[in-house]
Amino acid sequence: MTLHRLAAAIALTLTGATPALAHSAERGFVLLLPTGFVMVGGALVVLMTFAVVSVLPEQLFHQVADTHQPIAPVPAWLAPAISLMSAGVLGLLIWVGLTGPRDPLANLLPLTIWSLWWVVIVLLHSVFGNLWAALNPFTGPYALFRRLSHRPRAPLLHFPDRLAYVPALLIFAAFAWFQLVFPGPEDPTKLAFVVATYAVLTLAAVCLFGPAAWLGKADPFAIFLAQLGAAAPLTASSRRGLALHLPGAGLLALPPLPLAGTLFVLLTLSCIAFDGFANTYLWLASAGVNPLEFPGRTAMMGVNSLGLAGAFVLLSLSYATTVSLGWLWAGRPSALSRLLGHFVYTLIPISIAFHFAHYLSGTLVNLQYLALALNDPFRGGANLLGLGDADVTTSFQNTAAGALALFTAQTSAIISGHVIAIAVAHAIALRLGLARTATLKLEAPFAAFMVLYTAFGLWLLAVPAIS
């Protein structure tokens, strides 16, 4: 009788079990590695990079900046057509979100938004340049609207220059809160409502202010992806084919950002960093939560909202303090606001590295779910891709070799991002035309900040966490 009860209890437990965290086993293997050596080694690599770039000929960095010529990944004549297709796909995805399966792992909308778009497409920008200039679903409908209505090219309203980047800062903050704090960002219905609201408001703003003004100064995703695209080593065009540049070289051609633009870049990096930190045992314990009995997002909304805001404030203060110290030590060589708005571009390669490292494991699993959802979008027995009864596998995360491969890719990305950031910072500092000693004084505090941030990023990969 006891065995029957035990069997019934086990069956009931398995039936009501929730899906396991995709890379929990991987995290377990990583905890067995000598990660302290990895953190120290990564920090030393970044420190050595600072020492090396400091003695390289200055002309080398000037040549890199002068010879870099950004190339549009998509021809201008083709961009409106691609945008119209993107608009159609977005409308279809919203419809699927409202009418398709309720399971987020079977519905195309959350899988496309959170895995394909926010991870894969975002990271492709760091390789091929600003693809979103053509992929965005707003410029094509705007061009069609203007042609059908016979409206002049001039926008209906002028976007105030003093408000540049302010809408982007506010919209991205709301997006980050929805993604990282809100209890149901993957719920198809809720996500469909949010995406539809954003799409309608953005299209209206583009029609009012024009695509150049709104997408260039106010839309957070167009701005963020353009900044990532500027750091890309590979660009392409139909006329010139592929062109290879040093990673991050395109950032040198960007003008200094105003205060709101500087804060925007800091916000994008602080959000991804907090996303990793919010899952650690350290953060949960500080909030009075037992990591082994995680109560869910709803119970953590208040503390995570404060944590998200605190991460932004902490990173902003750290960045401003670091740059200000170098500026003072070097003898105040230029306007501090200009220096802050220029040096912040060095954080773009780090943002790319964090994006890759943080989402790698989960995306490798979710892309499999995406393929199955495409194969049978409404769970009606369709077999559009011929996948049949294929299953999602996470076995590559459950072995020491697989976990080591993932951890190696993640740590390599973090270290490489900071190395590129150091080189970009040196190139920016050289543009001030200072003596070598003054240049080193200007960069030294920032280099120390980079070393510490490298160690922090590697620590996030290795520390015990719930996911």
Q: 320 has which bridge partners?
A: none
Percent of the chain scoring above 70 in pLDDT: 88
Tens digit of pLDDT for each residue in 241-286?
Answer: 566 778 898 899 899 999 999 999 999 999 999 999 999 999 999 9
CB of 248 within 8 A of CB of 422?
A: no
Tens digit of pLDDT for each residue in 331-341?
Answer: 999 899 999 99
**d(Cα 183, Cα 374) in Å, to the nearest integer?**
26
Contacts of 428 (CB under 8 A, 6+ apart): 252, 342, 343, 345, 346
Q: At what angle do helices 297-329 and 436-462 cross, to 10 degrees?
A: 160
Concatenate the DSSP letters of all residues of 315-337 into one string. Answer: HHHHHHHHHHHHHHHTT--S-HH
Tens digit of pLDDT for each residue in 49-107?
Answer: 999 998 888 877 766 665 556 666 777 778 899 999 999 999 999 999 999 999 999 99
Residue with tokens 């590129």: 420
Name the band, by pLDDT with cuts 50, 70 and 90, for residue 7. very low
Helix (H, G, I), strand (E, B) or coil at 143: helix
Query: Residue range 31-43: average pLDDT?
Result: 85
Least confident of 7-11, 347-351, 391-395: 7-11
Name the band, by pLDDT with cuts 50, 70 and 90, for residue 152. low
**Which DSSP state fits 232?**
-
Contacts of 346 (CB under 8 A, 6+ apart): 251, 421, 422, 424, 425, 428, 446
Q: pTM of the prediction? A: 0.90
Of the candidates 126, 40, 95, 18, the one whose C-alpha atom is nearest the C-alpha of residue 417 is 126
Specify the pLDDT at position 6. 41
**d(Cα 98, Cα 108) in Å, to the nearest integer?**
11
**d(Cα 386, Cα 379) in Å, to the nearest integer?**
14
Higher pLDDT, 156 or 182: 182
Contacts of 209 (CB under 8 A, 6+ apart): 155, 156, 157, 158, 159, 218
User: HSE (CB half, 13 Å, CA atoms) of 41?
Assistant: 9
CA 181 to each of CA 103, 122, 190, 302: distance values in angstroms, whole numbers, following the listed order: 20, 21, 14, 9
Specify the pLDDT at position 28. 67
The yes-or-no verdict on residue 8 having pLDDT over 60 is no
The yes-or-no verdict on residue 23 having pLDDT over 50 is no
Torsion of the alpha carbons at 327, 329, 330 and 335, rounded to the nearest 10 = 30
The yes-or-no verdict on residue 294 having pLDDT over 50 is yes
